[in-house]
Structure 1
Amino acid sequence: MSEFLGSVFWLAVTLGVLVTFHEFGHYWVARRCGVRVLRFSIGFGKPIASFQRDGTQWAIGAIPLGGYVKFLDQREADDPRAVAGQPGEFYSKPPWQRIAIAAAGPVFNIVFAIAAFWAMFVIGRPDYQPVIGAPKGLAAEAGLVAGDRIVSVGGEKVDSMSAAMLAVTQAAARHRDTSVEVAGANGQIRAATLALSKLPPGAPDNAAVYEKIGINAAPLPAVIGLVDADTPAAKGGLKVGDRILGLNGHAIADSSQVSRLLGEEAAKNPQVSLLVERDGRQIPVAIAAERLTRDGQTRWMLGIAWQERARDALERFGPLAAVPAAFEETWKQTASMLGMIKSMIVGEASVKNLSSVISIAEVANASANEGLAWFLSFLAVISLSLGILNLLPIPILDGGHIVFTLAEWIKGRPVSERTLIAGQYVGLALLASLMGLAFYNDIARKLAQVFGS
Structure 2
Amino acid sequence: MSDLLGSVWWMIVALGILVTFHEFGHYWVARRCGVKVLRFSVGFGKPLWSRRDRHGTEFAIAAIPLGGYVKMLDEAEGEVPAAQLDQAFNRKSVWQRIAVVAAGPAANIVLCVALLWAMFVLGKQDYSATLGGVTGIAEAAGLQRGDRIVRIGDRAIDTWTDASIVLTKAAIDGKDVPVEVETASGTTATRQLALSRLPVDFDQENVIGLTGLTWRHWVVPATVGKVSPGAPADGVLQPGDVVTAVDGQPVHGFGDIATQVDLLGKRGGPAMVEVDRAGERLAFELEPRRMKRPDNGQDYWGLGLAPPDAAQMPGYDATLHFGPLAAIPAAFRETGKLTADSLGMIRRMLTGDASLKNVSGPITIAQVANVSAKRGPDWFLWFLAAMSLSLAIINLLPIPVLDGGHLLYYLIELVKGSPLSERHMVAGQYVGLAALAGLMGLAFYNDILRLVT
TM-score (norm. length: structure 2): 0.84
- The Cα RMSD (Å) is 3.7
Contact map agreement 1:128 1:311 (CA 8 A) in 2: yes
Task: Report what 1:88 is aligned to.
Answer: 87
State whether structure 2 residue 353 is matched by structure 1 residue 354.
no
State the shift of 1:175 in Å: 3.7
8 Å CA contact retained: 1:407, 1:415: yes
Gapped runs of 5+ residues in structure 2?
none
1:333-355 Cα deviation digits (max 9, x unpaired) = 11121121112112222222111
CA separation of 1:298 and 1:199: change in aligned 2, threshold 3 A:
farther
- Asked if 2 retains the 8 angstrom alpha-carbon contact of 1:255 and 1:306, the reply is no
Could you say which residue in structure 1 is the equivalent of 2:435?
A: 430
1:370-409 matches, within 5 Å, as 370-409=375-414
* Alignment partner of 1:126 is 2:125: yes
2:319 to 314, 321, 326: 314
Residue of structure 2 equivalent to 1:412: 417
Single out whichever of 174-183 and 347-356 deviates more from structure 2: 174-183
Which amino acid letter does the alignment assign opposite residue 215 of structure 1? L
- 2:21 is paired with a residue of what secondary structure? helix
> Percent identity among equivalent residues?
48
Deviation at 1:203, TM superposition (A): 7.9
- Alignment partner, residue 451 of structure 1: none
- Shift of residue 383, structure 1, vs aligned partner: 0.7
Partner of 2:72: 71
Is the CA contact (8 Å cut-off) linking 1:203 and 1:352 kept in structure 2?
no
Aligned pairs (5 A) from 1:225-240? none
Counterpart of 2:190?
191
Q: CA deviation at 1:393?
A: 1.5
Supply the distance in 1 between the matched residues of 2:325 and 2:202 (Cα, whole angstroms): 38
Distance in 1 of aligned mates of 2:283 and 2:12: 49
C-alpha deviation, 1:365, in angstroms = 1.7
Q: Over residues 324-373 of structure 1, what are the superposed CA-to-partner deviations in whole Å (9 max), with x where a residue is unaligned?
A: 11111111111121121112112222222111112212221222222111
Cα drift, residue 291 of structure 1: 3.6
SS at match of 1:444: helix
DSSP 3-state at the match of 1:318: coil
Q: For the Cα contact (< 8 Å) 1:90–1:98, is it kept in 2?
A: yes
3-state DSSP of counterpart to 1:50: strand
- 1:302 paired with 2:300, answer no
Larger deviation: 405-414 or 253-262? 253-262
Amino acid at match of 2:114: A
Secondary structure at the aligned position of 1:152 is classed as: strand
Question: Contact conserved, 1:51 with 1:57, CA < 8 A, in 2?
Answer: yes
Equivalent in the alignment of 1:4: 4
Question: 2-side partners of 1:216 and 1:19: how far apart?
Answer: 38
Query: Residue deviations 1:294-347, cap 9 Å, x none?
Result: 9xx999762514332222211111111111111111111111211211121122
Aligned equivalents of 2:201, 2:142: Cα separation in 1: 25
Aligned runs of 1:224-373 on 2, under 5 Å? 224=223, 243-245=242-244, 252-260=251-259, 277=276, 279-281=278-280, 291-293=293-295, 302=306, 304=308, 305-373=310-378
- Asked if 2 retains the 8 angstrom alpha-carbon contact of 1:137 and 1:211, the reply is no
Q: Which residue of 1 aligns with 2:57?
A: 56
Greater shift after overlay, 416-425 or 53-62?
53-62
1:160-239 aligned at under 5 Å gives the runs 160-200=159-199, 206-207=205-206, 209-218=207-216, 220=219, 222=221, 224=223
Matched to 1:429, the amino acid is: A
Structure 1 position 106, deviation (Å): 0.2
Amino acid at match of 1:47: K
> C-alpha offsets along residues 216-260 of structure 1, whole Å, 9 cap, x if unaligned?
1136473659x69x9999x99966x65344679987443332344
The DSSP-based 3-state class of the residue aligned with 2:315 is coil
| Gaps in structure 1 of 5+ consecutive residues | 449-453
8 Å CA contact 1:139–1:213 kept in 2: the answer is: yes
The separation in 2 between residues aligned to 1:426 and 1:232, in whole angstroms, is 65
Residue equivalent to 1:108 = 107
Q: Cα–Cα, structure 1 residues 64 and 216, in superposed 2: closer, same or farther, change >3 Å?
A: same
Q: What letter is aligned with 2:359? A: L
**In the alignment, is the contact (CA less than 8 A) between 1:73 and 1:83 conserved in 2?**
no
| CA distance, structure 1, for counterparts of residue 95 and residue 420 of structure 2 | 15
The CA deviation at 1:261 is 5.1
Tell me the alpha carbon deviations over residues 262-290 of structure 1, each in whole angstroms, 9 at most, x when there is no partner.
Answer: 7788999xxxx98764544568999x998
Shift of 1:433: 1.0
Q: 1:250 to 1:190 in 2, by over 3 A?
A: closer
Q: CA deviation at 1:154?
A: 2.4
* TM-score in terms of structure 1 length: 0.84
The 3-state SS of whatever aligns with 1:86 is: helix
